[in-house]
Structure 1
Amino acid sequence: MTVISIPAGSLFGVDNLPYGVFSTADTGRRVGVRVGGSVVDLSKALSDPAAALFAHPTLNAFMAQGRDRWVEVRAQVTELVSGEIADEAVFAIDDVTMHMPIAVADYVDFYASENHATNLGKLFRPDSAALFPNWKHLPVGYHGRSSTVVVSGTDIVRPCGQRKAPTDGAPTFGPSVRLDIEAEIGFIVGVGSPMGSSITPDQFAEHCFGAVVLNDWSARDIQAWEYVPLGPNLGKSFATSISPWVVPLQALEAARIDTPVQDPTPLPYLRGEEKWGLEIDLAVEWNGDYVSRPPYRQMYWSPAQMLAHITVNGAAASTGDLIGSGTVSGPEKDQRGAFIELTWNGTEPVTVAGEQRTFLEDGDEISISATAPGPSGGRIGFGEVRARVLPAAGETRQAKSNRPGVQRRRHGRA
């Protein structure tokens, strides 16, 4: 039997207990929970019927059972990890491979940071109001592509598409030269709602299972040319990365706060009594250097309002739906969650590993992590979402060196 040792100050103590899907060299995919530096195989550690829920390659079967079941199982797992566990159910975190924790049913990404939206408005509409007239009346979002949501550790191939700079006479086709990130939090729907119904903000906890760190990769040059009049498409749909550990909504109780003051007062369907602002701190690492620490507490629209807005027209919600918060940005430069903001559209380079940088180059590695207050005065962790940028599919070395905007690094590698 094994007793798991949890180091003092661990981000993965009993106040957290995030769920994930893992495998080992000898076994297939199943659901586990992280405790300290260990992963507990719930399909082996729990008794039936709970154990059967976790012998699946995704969390969807468990999530679909609803909040009462989530609460019940969390209590069982808390008791389990505080005592002795069968040896065959415990693995060191370094001995497992993590996989997508959910089968993504649908994906909607929002634009809920006033700081981010204001910065982009100033960049692209300097002679107009930074925010569009609708921005403070509803959570603005776009419909993403669920088939390209991938787990942390999956390399991202540089996307190709049409580009047209303001000085170009006609559009050209090729790899994006303004590849960017967006540091976000993603919320996962556990229990859906039928078509023709809606979910209120105060019903959020009945439907949302938990949260992950999310990177909404963005090809800014492709996006800029295509987005008028219907919004993002190819500039976003090529990849979205999420962290492998799903922090249960219950673990975020101590992180709940009010949203910033919403003025004007939202329409009734966006109002609720429950607080669903969240005290979450993100950190963005670029080739080993921390370049930004975005504060989620600054987000204008809450995830409860996002889910209410998605369903108010009668659209169905499903188990496995993923809701992206949109870029998390604070008021300070070092709190901006996208490089288009951080470098002010490429005009103010930042120093990364001793180099002056603007947008992403091939070979760059990005990691986004997050932590939140825990109920016992400590902190809980989300882990990280990490990925490396690969050259565009089929791009030759010569074509890459001739790509507009490519900078040669000091160590001689393009």
Structure 2
Amino acid sequence: MAEKLTAVKGMNDILPPDSARWEWLEDKVRALMARYAYRNIRTPIVEPTALFVRGLGEVTDIVEKEMYSFEDRLNGEALTLRPENTAGVVRAVAEHSMLYDGGKRLYYMGPMFRHERPQRGRYRQFHQIGAEALGFPGAEVDAELILLADALWKELGLKDVRLELNSLGQPDERRQHRAALISYFETNADQLDEEAKRRLHSNPLRILDTKNPKMQALVEAAPRLIDFLGEASLAHFSSVKAILEANGIAYSINPRLVRGMDYYNLTVFEFITDSLGSQGTICGGGRYDYLIEQIGGKAAPAVGWALGVERVLELIREQGGAADLPVPDAYAIVPETSALPVVLKTLQALRALGVSVQMHAAAGAVADGMGSMKSQFKKADASGARFALIFGAAELAQGSVAVKPLRGEKVDAAQAQTLQPLATVALWAHSLRAGV
């Protein structure tokens, strides 16, 4: 026997019925994005490595430690499985000159890849849903995206998700803050861990994002970026906050919130829960006005966010929420194999009318009949179908099918009700779709 192969660690299969929860979430997102006039964009999973090095920052954790990068064996090109998708969306927008006629509101769904130690809510292949608004400089679009995310939590029935805000200002303000940070940490170098010492001069802002509990007091006392912001940056931040307050969106200011990529400026934000342990951030984003030019496009403002699908679904489970899992409208009971041609013709007609029907299929490598009526009714009940369609010999002799309601009743073949002529089964189907 050949060796049994398994999935790569941290890259998980999504099986029924769990996959139905994913589809349910995706359907909710599509409907909500349509109401906000965001349109779907789909970009490649593999991108040039330079896109992420240039876009995310050469000394970020993602680029330094987490990317799945490789050399194309045919042409030697350096390629990477995307670790996030904002850079890919920006690359596509710039490559196809999508902003030539004005700003664009876009959203995406799909897998991302980071080489991490797998744990709850943190996988090597994980999935994100993101929204990006490109070509719009105003604070109202920052606020719109936050309102969009908040509306999604309401659609999903999520509770106790808090919003944290900060402003990273503009590059010159960040440079002033950077110099103050370096000076402060140099003065306290004896309290820095090895990772912080390594980043002191290359990317001191990342030190503020440390998870080392021994450095928390030091970080809390560090110079705050918000104290270096000029009038325009403060006005932008005030406008965002005013719109959120007008819409009843609660938030807190977190002056240490910097996010994990270098491309952000002005508004940054995260939605956080305390229900998922250390992986509490379920959605994060902000403004990135310089990224398009940074990767070779024409300068244009932009803002966006991404949420972790696995974490959101886990939070729904934690809070006792339930997705509307799909069940068939009807289950076809087939006592005799000789009836199958008529059965399948009838089911195809029903499916063409939008009725979901599951047909009983014989079990085993070599089918020996269709199985007993009792076993078929058990399977019909287990399927969650509202009705059983019974294609018995007596019914078919009359050109009919017996329709029996299943929900809320004991399943008993003898209780089958309501003969429907095969020729007019469409009338029953219309009644079913109307909820009768």
Q: Given the two structures, how large is their TM-score scaled by the length of structure 2?
A: 0.24
Highest CA radius of gyration, 1 or 2? 2
Greater per-residue helix proportion: 2
Structure 1 length-normalised TM: 0.25
Higher relative contact order (CA 8 A, sep 6+): 1
Relative to total residues, which structure has the larger strand share, 1 or 2?
1
